[in-house]
């Protein structure tokens, strides 16, 4: 019997007290589904690899809790390359995890522009690389959840570029869209399009933006009978 909600993703699944946003989509969905939040492993600025790894690790460490969970997974795209650290970075935020993480974003990190240029010279296609990162993480979790019979739903917090490579599109189509809410867009895109930003110039959702998205997620979950697997 599902009684708890597991949450993982990026800052779109965390609160922003400095902007007077003391809720997020996961908390609002838990209310609508009448579930308690078992754990929230979402981390600001983090990507797909960490999301996949911490989800699986938590489930294996706490199997009795995992069996009672519905899993809410917000994919932040593949352009955030996560790596474990040896400095205990923000360890206090995730006491159930012994591995800490940082993330390299080639689109934003000024300190690694030279490394990015080297990769491009070596023939790297950044769009294909980021799409593969995203798809691998979701396929991994999909296989894991199906094997364990854990109910779940995916959605994008952020969007990757449009897929043009046939092989990547072929693998993207292997993700079960019955459990993937609005796979061709993201919460960020919806927030901007509907003017639900927490403040001007910041595309993180407002309180109403989180409630709106959570309400749509709940409708999708109910319409597809996703509480069971």
pLDDT at 118: 56
CB burial of 62-94 (b: ≥16 within 10 Å; e: otherwise) equals: beebbebbbbbbbbbbbbbbbeeeeeeeeeeeb
Domain boundaries, the chain: 4-223
pLDDT at 135: 96
Q: Long-range contacts of range 24-27, CB-CB < 8 Å, 24 or more positions apart? A: 24/205, 24/210, 25/72, 25/74, 25/187, 25/205, 25/210, 25/213, 25/214, 25/217, 26/72, 26/214, 27/210
- Supply 122's token pair: 């070596």
Residue 224's nearest CA partner among 179, 188, 192, 194 is 179
Q: What's the pTM value of the predicted model, to 2 decimals?
A: 0.93
User: CA quadruple 215, 94, 71, 153: dihedral positive or negative?
Assistant: positive
Q: Mind listing the pLDDT tens digit of every residue in the chain (229 residues)?
A: 899 999 999 999 999 999 999 999 999 999 999 999 999 999 999 999 999 999 999 999 999 999 999 999 999 988 888 899 999 999 999 999 999 999 887 766 555 555 556 555 667 788 898 899 999 999 999 999 999 999 999 999 998 888 999 999 999 999 999 999 999 999 999 999 999 999 999 999 999 999 999 999 999 999 999 999 8
Helix (H, G, I), strand (E, B) or coil at 134: helix
Tell me how far the alpha carbon of residue 213 is from its chain's centroid: 14
Q: Report in angstroms the alpha-carbon separations of 127 from 60, 145, 160.
A: 32, 27, 8
pLDDT at 62: 98
- Supply 20's token pair: 């007077």
CATH 3.30.2000, applies to 4-223: no
- Supply 48's token pair: 């797909």
């Amino acid at each position: 019997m599902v009684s708890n909600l597991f949450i993982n993703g990026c800052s779109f699944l965390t609160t922003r007290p400095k902007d007077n946003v003391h809720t997020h989509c996961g908390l609002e969905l838990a209310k609508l589904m009448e579930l308690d939040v078992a754990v929230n492993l979402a981390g600001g600025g983090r990507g797909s690899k960490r999301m996949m790894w911490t989800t699986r690790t938590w489930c294996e460490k706490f199997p009795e809790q995992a069996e009672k969970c519905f899993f809410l997974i917000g994919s932040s795209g593949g352009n955030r390359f996560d790596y474990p650290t040896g400095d205990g970075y923000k360890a206090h935020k995730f006491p159930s995890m012994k591995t800490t993480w940082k993330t390299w974003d080639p689109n934003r990190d000024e300190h690694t522009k030279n490394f990015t240029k080297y990769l491009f010279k070596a023939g790297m296609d950044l769009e294909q690389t980021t799409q593969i990162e995203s798809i691998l993480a979701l396929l991994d979790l999909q296989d894991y959840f199906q094997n364990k019979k854990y109910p779940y739903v995916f959605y994008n917090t952020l969007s990757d570029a449009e897929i043009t490579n046939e092989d990547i599109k072929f693998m993207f189509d292997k993700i079960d869209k019955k459990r993937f809410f609005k796979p061709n867009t993201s919460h960020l895109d919806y927030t901007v399009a509907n003017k639900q930003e927490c403040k001007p110039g910041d595309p993180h959702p407002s309180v109403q933006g989180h409630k709106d998205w959570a309400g749509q997620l709940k409708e999708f979950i109910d319409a597809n009978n996703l509480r069971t697997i």
